[in-house]
């Protein structure tokens, strides 16, 4: 079931940059935070998005987020072990936690010290329920404190690689060598173990780098979720399989089967209108819904005039001829460009595009007749980056994604978002399970607002044509070099800058085009791609020679963080 995944980023010590993961079906949790309230005034008719069957039908491990930016990486590792998991905030009540009927808990790391005022805590029943619990870094320190142990500031902070000496080869350390590299990121240490606990391993700076009580409670001062911890995947798999007793049952096939049943239950005999963008997300969502409710689905492709070269034509041919899906094609270029005229603020451009996008859909819905649901290919990173209140309470609002924050408050239909809590590589795995063609599955991500957020400043027809030509050159050269699948995204950006150049015997004053290529797994973090110089040279040479309005090409070598992948 394994599929090739895009290379992981390498710009941060704690980024996910290891080998491709096994194909697993992802989580479909609905977090406590009411995302829809910020963007939609109406509630979903079923009470939640159609994502999969209730958690009670899956063996579940709950990740309790204590403020770590890598809680989702922990979740990914659990899913790679084919075990279903959900991420909930540390503020979740025991009633909420226990309602998932969990087989165990994982406490994430976090930036705080357990002795700080207002430091994150979790429901005390997590430690008294008798269910297995594994604390990571801050999670281990919190476990120590709440069970009567003592945490103190370390004489020397421990960041980066460390050699773990394994004291006991059982439980989470079953199958590990006597010594192995782990990744540390902490300033506190365990000064006294809680009653009934024993040390499992140590490093030069941490006499207690891991602990357990023999009853399912495990603490790890290092981060098993990151690639730099060599045996990290095995440690997590040992916990969910051997300590929690979960089977490896969460697979793409299971996700498809259970999601189609859930979509049928939500939609009933209602009519569904699906927004097609041409990307893998909306394609997988549409195929999943079509499998669930058949002719009750009508797909509408809105050509907003902000697409890449030939993208609209290719999409129509694929869905009508290959997938045999009922498709309505709407050319709304004039409507979108009219509303974008004069706008330069990126957030306002996103908002306007999102608003007009829905207005066009409402117009088409009136032509089609009674429509009850709008389907979208919204993914987990879209939600995370569009809200200030994710499962992690400290998640920062980065931008308004048109699938989430740009929706008008007077939306007249409810939403079906079957991929809302899936990562991109997981969507591709589900797409393969649905037998979608590789040309759709491996298409690189494209922002909802399209080329509007790759034109810095005002969007005009002239600038769109310049950018389309430049972007086409970038993508074609990347494909010719055999690098397309190795990159998360590769594209051109039209900057508002103009520079002096010399072409022939004449001075020119033309646009500056930026080339952006990144590696990533799910867009949460990304590293700039080390493209071969000869590829960059061909891209630059073609752009300045084939596009008269451009006389300079630059390459973006920024990672995320601190930059974002898109320029706007």
Q: Which residues are catalytic?
A: 137, 223, 225
Spell out where 367-470 has E strands: 373-375, 414-416
In Å, what is the CA distance from 386 to each residue of 246, 356, 378, 399? 33, 18, 11, 5
Q: Which of 33, 45, 82, 35 is nearest to 60 (CA)?
A: 82
* Residues 6 or more apart whose Cβ sits within 8 Å of residue 519: 6, 7, 8, 9, 10, 486, 487, 488, 526, 527, 529
Q: Which of 214, 220, 149, 219 is nearest to 184 (CA)?
A: 220
Cis-peptide, bond into residue 234, ω within 30° of zero: no
| C-alpha to C-alpha distance for 415 and 372, rounded to whole angstroms | 9
Residue with tokens 């269910």: 131
SS3 assignment, position 63: strand
- Under 8 Å between Cβ of 43 and 560: no
Alpha helices in 328-457 (DSSP H): 333-340, 346-368, 380-384, 424-433, 438-441
CA 2 to chain centre: 19
- Looking at the DSSP bridge assignments, the partners of residue 138 are none
Phi, psi of 305 (to 5 degrees): 80, 10
Q: Which two tokens stand for residue 15?
A: 């980024």
In Å, what is the CA distance from 415 to each residue of 124, 212, 276, 421? 36, 45, 14, 14
DSSP code of residue 206: -
- Under 8 Å between Cβ of 337 and 305: yes
């Amino acid at each position: 079931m394994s599929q090739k995944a895009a290379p992981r980023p390498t710009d941060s010590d704690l980024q996910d940059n290891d080998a491709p993961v096994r194909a697993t079906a992802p989580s479909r949790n609905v977090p406590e935070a009411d995302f829809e309230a910020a963007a939609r005034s109406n509630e979903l008719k079923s009470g939640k998005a159609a994502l999969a069957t209730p958690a009670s039908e899956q063996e579940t491990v709950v990740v309790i987020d204590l403020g770590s930016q890598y809680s989702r990486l922990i979740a990914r590792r659990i899913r790679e072990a084919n075990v279903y998991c959900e991420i909930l905030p540390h503020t979740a009540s025991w009633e909420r936690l226990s309602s998932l009927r969990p087989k165990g808990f994982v406490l994430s790391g976090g930036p705080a010290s357990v002795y700080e005022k207002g430091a994150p805590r979790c429901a005390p029943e997590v430690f008294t329920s008798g269910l297995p619990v594994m604390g990571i870094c801050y999670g281990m320190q919190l476990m120590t404190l709440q069970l009567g142990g003592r945490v103190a500031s370390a004489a020397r902070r421990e960041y980066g690689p460390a050699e773990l000496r394994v004291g006991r080869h059982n439980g989470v350390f079953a199958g590990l060598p006597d010594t192995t590299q782990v990744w540390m990121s902490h300033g506190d240490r365990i000064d006294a173990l809680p009653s009934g606990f024993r040390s499992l391993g140590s490093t030069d700076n941490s006499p207690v780098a891991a602990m357990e009580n023999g009853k399912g409670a495990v603490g790890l001062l290092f981060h098993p979720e990151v690639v730099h911890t060599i045996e990290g995947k095995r440690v997590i798999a040992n916990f969910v399989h051997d300590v929690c007793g979960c089977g490896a049952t969460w697979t793409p096939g299971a996700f498809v089967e259970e999601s189609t049943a859930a979509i049928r239950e939500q939609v009933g005999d209602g009519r569904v209108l699906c927004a097609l963008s041409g990307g893998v997300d909306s394609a997988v969502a549409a195929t999943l819904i079509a499998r669930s409710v058949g002719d009750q689905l009508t797909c509408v492709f809105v050509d907003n005039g902000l697409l890449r070269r030939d993208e609209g034509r290719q999409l129509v041919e694929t869905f009508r001829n290959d997938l045999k899906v009922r498709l309505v094609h709407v050319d709304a270029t004039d409507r979108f460009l009219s509303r974008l005229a004069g706008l330069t603020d990126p957030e306002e451009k996103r908002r306007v595009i999102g608003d007009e996008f829905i207005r066009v859909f409402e117009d088409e819905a009136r032509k089609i007749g009674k429509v009850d649901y709008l389907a979208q290919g919204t993914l987990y990173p879209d939600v995370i980056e569009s809200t200030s209140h994710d499962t992690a309470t400290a998640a920062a609002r980065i931008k308004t994604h048109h699938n989430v924050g740009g929706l008008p408050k007077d939306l007249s239909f409810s939403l079906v978002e079957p991929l809302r809590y899936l990562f991109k590589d997981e969507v591709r795995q589900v797409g393969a399970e649905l037998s979608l063609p590789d040309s759709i599955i491996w298409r690189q991500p494209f922002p909802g607002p399209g080329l509007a957020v790759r034109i810095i400043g005002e969007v005009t027809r002239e600038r769109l044509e310049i950018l389309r030509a430049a972007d086409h050159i970038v993508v074609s050269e990347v494909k010719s070099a055999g690098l397309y699948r190795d990159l998360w995204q590769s594209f051109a950006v039209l900057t508002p800058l103009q520079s002096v150049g010399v072409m022939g015997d004449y001075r020119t004053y033309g646009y500056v085009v930026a080339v952006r290529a990144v590696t990533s797994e799910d867009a949460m973090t990304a590293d700039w791609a080390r493209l071969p110089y000869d590829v960059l040279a061909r891209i630059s040479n073609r752009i300045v020679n084939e596009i008269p309005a451009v006389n300079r090409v630059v390459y973006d070598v920024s990672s995320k963080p601190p930059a974002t992948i898109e320029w706007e």
